[in-house]
Amino acid sequence: MPELPRDSGRYDYSPITDRPAFAWPAGSGLAAYVAINVECFAYGGGGATLTPGADPPHSEHRRYGWRDYGIRVGLWRLLDELAQRAITPTFLLNAYVPQLYPAVAAALTASGGEIVGHGRTNSELQGGLDEADERELIDESTRLLTDAFGTRPYGWMSPGATQSPQTPDLLAENGYRYTLDWPIDDQPVWLRTRGGPLLNVPYPLETNDYPQVLSRGHTGREFGEIALDQLVELRRQARRMPLVYPLSLHPFIAGQPHRLHALLPVLDLLAEHRDEIWLTTPGAIAAHYADVVPAPTAEGNPHG
């Protein structure tokens, strides 16, 4: 008889209908955050996704330039739209960005948004690194962001959402309190690591412009409808249990005018219903959840 498939070992199964009771601040049923992926790339260094459609040979300038459009133009449009609606952003930030783009670092500081560690550059994915090199990547990224902003990040999103088998262990050992890497739930989930419990805060593959537009071929309008439908339905579901609505945007994708226009109804709905939606950051979500559903003891099993 074949063996049962092995799971990750990082968390236990539990249905969302059988969880510890808790509530978000002020009795909100739905917590929501808007993440902007602020990334940098090496020209000719890999990691730059093809532009929509097939690229001809010798077109690195197109791939790199399309990405660079995001940090030159798209980011500023996203920041402006969020500021107009008093929505505090979350920045998944490559650690080399403050050195390469000081004006961007100043704008992120001025926004009051949360900084989440996101590796050094998205030309370098950590999933295939050995443990020593990955530890160095996490250590250097943490140090650079701490030096740039005066406080260390406590959340981490791996570049390209890649992980090695030891990534959660290294994050916990470095002092990180939560990760966004596991798209497993609409509530936070405690993960097991050799450095103690690490919280996984929901981060989307669905309400995320990168996979929807680049991998699945959705138009900007279709992605806007997906993000809006997700928000409407989660608001309805959140009348029965506390949930999280994350929205993930890449400036070179969502910052394109036609896609940004299609996203404005989502931002409007978030802002208009802030009386019932906790508009926040993943760090605040992690801190609140850790207070109301504490990390398990060494002998216990993580919830979820």
SS3 249: strand
What is the spatial distance between Cα 144 and Cα 187, in angstroms, rounded to a whole number?
30
Q: Which of 8, 12, 10 is nearest to 195 (CA)?
A: 10
CA 147 to chain centre: 22
What pLDDT does 50 receive? 66
Question: Which pLDDT value is given to residue 58?
Answer: 73
* Cβ neighbours of 168 (radius 10 Å): 25
Whether this prediction's pTM lies above 0.75 is answered by: yes
pLDDT for 296 equals: 87
Dump the DSSP string for 145-161. HHHHHSS---EE--GGG
Q: Which ranges of the chain have pLDDT less than 70? A: 1, 45-50, 52-54, 298-304
- Return the pLDDT at 262: 97
pLDDT value, residue 4:
79
Each residue of 244-291: pLDDT tens digit? 999 999 999 999 999 999 999 999 999 999 999 999 999 999 999 999
Distance CA 178, CA 176 (A): 6
Query: What's the confidence (pLDDT) of residue 56?
Result: 72
**Region for residue 267 given its phi and psi (left: phi exceeds 0; alpha: psi -120 to 50; beta: otherwise):** alpha
Domains of the chain listed by start with CATH number? 25-45+57-292 (3.20.20.370)
Phi, psi of 204 (to 5 degrees): -95, 145
C-beta separation of 94 from 140 below 8 A: no
Which SS3 state, helix, strand or coil, does residue 104 take? helix
Q: Which residues pair with 179 in a beta bridge?
A: 156, 200
Tell me if residue 195 falls in helix, strand or coil: coil
